[in-house]
Structure 1
Amino acid sequence: MTGNVKSAAAAWLRNRALHADFEFAQPDGAPIGSVVDIQFQHHGLRVHLDQAAEPTWDEDGLEPVLGMSVPVDRDTLIDRWYVHRIRLNSEGTTRKVRIGTEALARETEWFTLDDCEMTEQGLSTPAVERIVRARTTRPPSRWPTGKARKSPDTEARARVVLRRLADALKVESVVVVNVIAPGPTDTPMLSDPGRARTPPAHPPLGRFVSPDEVAGLTAFLLGPDGGAITGQQLAQCAGASL
């Protein structure tokens, strides 16, 4: 297995005009062949083909890539967002290397070496790109700094929310549940002729909640700044609950 990994990695690097040194490492006295180091100029990969040596994270500039039998705990997946896996697929008389991206509460997604790239942040796959994009993209500013507030663009807000939900579904992100409880909101329902006998009263703030404000709070909760808010009911009621 070690020879297959080394030869496949060497061919992959040649196709990208990259150079790396290979070493059969023996951390913690692991037997030769259990761990392969692939060292680039500024960083590298440490491939753990079995459980002989426990992976170390963010040390020695070597990013762990774990064989199928190497366990990874939940806290590591939360802290690092994802980890890399490696396996060999039998195809006829040859064995092909596949790289997997594993994240919390999602199945490992597998790729060929040709789908992977070495970046300044380390080994990257299409799944890694989606995970990073989904967790770091901020919603657009509501209005330009120093300018008067424009009329609420509810449809644009809705598109932001739906795009964030779609990104979460692509990477099968963990779903965090919060509840937004808006008060009387300025929608066509408030002017429905059927409500003529019981028109809604303004809340203490003196106006109704705008749809743009509800959409803005939703976008905040779905964005990176709202990531630590979980299991909450947020009343957006213009003072009606006071």
Structure 2
Amino acid sequence: MGTITNRAFSLDNKLRREWENEFAGRVHVFGEHGAVPVQTMVERARDLTGDARDELLHDLLCLAHHGDRVSERVLLQLLIPAARSMAHRVHALDELTRNDRVDIAIGAAWESIRHYKLHLRSRVMANLTMGTLSVIAPKPSANDRLIAGLTNCVTDEILEHVAGAWTEPEPSPESELANLLTWAVDTRVVTNAEVALLGRAYLGEETHQTIARDLGISPEGVRKRLARVRSRISVAARTSYAA
């Protein structure tokens, strides 16, 4: 018998079979959108852009938060490609097997859906993607930082004598990046929307062409916008962040 990490028993594989056997061909009433084949609703959400896409995704989130498990499953199906991508890019998961990384990322996507703040009606997919990342690699809370800063149960000499020399662990790239982006937003170097754009471009599976259609600009415009955001963060980090 294989372990839980065996592909046959992975959450990713289970959801794939479940989608094919139970959901894809099913017709469901999606509130005001009426009775629609579930797979068609997924394709519709992928094809829409801009405000129309945000409106549909927000409607599905409202239905999901009121107990509609099919709407929730549609949202998860839309997020699974981004979750799979994050599983191989987020270093916080490096020590896990491939299957476990993917399963944890999918679970994080589910959490992002269930805890989505419904007052956020724009850039819904970007918000869901960033919410998934925040579950996988959360920033230390203020309380965590306070405890870390104040805890000193024994002297370093006693600790080293008992447990051996201590090597300060390197902060994870995810936590450093999250702290930098939080600082950049707080100091108005960049906006929340620009951080969400970075997440869509580098953490999700959307192409520049897809993002461009959503924003109503050209793919080259997306690349230039990303370059400007990266440049502002880079300059600010070199001149002010370390201080």
TM-score by length of 1: 0.30
Greater gyration radius: 1
**Structure with higher helix content:** 2
**Structure with higher strand content:** 1
